[in-house]
Amino acid sequence: MKIKTGGTRMYILGIGIALAITVLAAGTLHEVGYVISDFKIVKSGTLIIENARPFSNVFIDNKRIGQIDETGTTEFTGIKPGARTVLIGNATVWPWVLDFTILPDTTVSLTPLQVNQESDGAVLRDASDPIRQRAITEFKNYREPTRMQPLEREGVRVWVEGVTIFVQKNDEVRQVFTSSNPLREVSWYGDRSDAIIVASLNNVFALDIRKSSVQNFLPIYTGSAPEAVSDPIRSSKIFVKDADQYFEVSI
């Protein structure tokens, strides 16, 4: 008995042609700024990554979409509207992840928090060194931020209650971090209003306080029982006190 295969071949060929047309159409839509979302054709969005480490790789929902250029600021078009997750990675820094929402025909700008995996610093040994003297003064003047006297910058307020760090922006108050150990110091990360520096147990780390399902916990320094405060003059440095030594550490 012979089986007629002509119809089957034509059916498979038809599927192949339909898929090819769909792929071609999707590529054409992307070129003119549209994407297919939930079986609808919608205007795509644009993501701008600013002040990033040059040549970092950028992923959206675990798919690589490109690389940051040598200027540190790069625009990525054709982003499908909706809730998205961006990951930025570089061999020299800790990976950074953030949730964001993008609407059709809109632009979202994000500045990643990229912390060096290997922090550089120096011991402040000379008692007459003005930088060491400034470090001593900053530690002496440190006061834990409270709800009544928080860290406050660009409309963002941060304070500590027990071992929990809270952040407020506009009318929204959120818990951003709860430690299983006492917190020693909490201060701003450089000149940013979306990140803080926290010292607890044997670590000093940076914490991104933007709302996201993934918490960016980025180590800066590990020692015995380090304390850490910001340098009020140099936004790229912090002071660390550990084992009776004072350090300046780059962030």
- pLDDT tens track for 49-80: 999 999 999 999 999 999 999 999 999 999 99
Average pLDDT over residues 215-229: 95
160-168 contact pairs (CB < 8 A, 24+): 160/186, 165/196, 165/198, 165/207, 165/209, 167/209
Residues in the chain: 251
Q: Quote the CA–CA distance of 83 and 101 in Å, as a whole number.
A: 4
- For the stretch 186-207, pLDDT in tens is 999 999 999 999 999 999 999 9
pTM of the prediction?
Answer: 0.84
pLDDT in tens, 108-161: 999 999 999 998 989 999 999 999 999 999 999 999 999 999 999 999 999 999
d(CA 218, CA 190): 14
What pLDDT is stored for residue 41 in this prediction?
78
Domain ranges (residues) in the chain? 1-32, 42-110, 121-250
Give me the architecture of the 42-110 domain, per CATH: Sandwich (2.60)
Asked if 131 and 234 count as a contact pair (C-beta separation under 8 A), the reply is: no
| Confidence check: pLDDT of 20 > 50 | no
pLDDT score of 238 more than 80:
yes
Tokens representing residue 77 in the block: 């078009």
Asked if 86 contacts 98 with a C-beta cutoff of 8 angstroms, the reply is yes
Structure tokens at 89: 């990675």
Give percent of the chain with pLDDT exceeding 70.
84
The residues that bridge with 217 in the sheet, in sequence order, are 207
The stretch 209-214 carries a mean pLDDT of 94
In this prediction, residue 35 carries a pLDDT of 60
**Residue 15: per-residue pLDDT:** 52
